[in-house]
Chain A
Amino acid sequence: IAGITQAPTSQILAAGRRMTLRCTQDMRHNAMYWYRQDLGLGLRLIHYSNTAGTTGKGEVPDGYSVSRANTDDFPLTLASAVPSQTSVYFCASSERTGGTDTQYFGPGTRLTVL
């Protein structure tokens, strides 16, 4: 089934630990995105990639890093987790052809940092 997968579904992490959230899409979309969603706030963009080999910073990039080695995968790494990074993380992708550019979302990863 075509779409976006994320792993893990949920995770409890000790502060200071390193964590990588995985995201894979099979739609051959050019662009991929990482968002965090917190109660009462809109989705906030962490990092994005317009095409394989390139990445950019979003609204809230501090404490996070990404890589885009190929079209399908876009992992998000927390180098040293802090409690304020407790959130639901969504990966998304879009064709990025200059048209409607609808973003399609993965199921999310619920991360708790203690």
Chain B
Amino acid sequence: GQNIDQPTEMTATEGAIVQINCTYQTSGFNGLFWYQQHAGEAPTFLSYNVLDGLEEKGRFSSFLSRSKGYSYLLLKELQMKDSASYLCAVLDSNYQLIWGAGTKLIIKP
């Protein structure tokens, strides 16, 4: 079966750095997405990786290793507004998005 694993919840301090991991086992791979979802709101796109390596976008970076079935989202200089759930999703061989359950990130002052 297809499976996306990510931690249920993480806590970090304002101004610090946090890394959210995602491991996947899917039928085929056509890219990995990270979305941010604030409580009560819709998911919004953060990043897309299809090749191995690190993609940097401001305070957020996303890393992919296809051989290990592994990705992480790195958030730097954490701000209170970064408190949200972070969803990992893989585009499988049928171009369907398979979603993880999400990681709830709690930022403390």
Q: How large is the interface on B (under 10, 10 to 19, 20 to 34, 35 or more residues)?
A: 20 to 34
A-B pairs, 9 with minimum CB distance: A42-B99, A105-B42, A43-B99, A42-B101, A102-B45, A100-B48, A105-B43, A42-B100, A107-B42
Indicate if the CB atoms of A40 and B96 lie closer than 8 Å: no
Within the assembled complex, what's the spacing in Å between the Cα atoms of A45 and B94?
Answer: 13
Within the assembled complex, what's the spacing in Å between the Cα atoms of A44 and B33?
Answer: 15
Interface residue ranges, B against A (CB under 8 Å): 4, 31, 33, 41-45, 48, 50, 87, 89, 91, 95-102
Q: Which of A2-45 touch B at CB < 8 Å? A: 40-45
Interface size on A, residues (CB 8 A): 18
Indicate if the CB atoms of A42 and B31 lie closer than 8 Å: no
Indicate if the CB atoms of A100 and B31 lie closer than 8 Å: yes
Indicate if the CB atoms of B45 and A104 lie closer than 8 Å: yes
Return the CB mask of A51-94 against B: 1 if under 8 Å, else 0: 00000001000000000000000000000000000000010000
Contacts of A104 in B (CB 8 A): 45
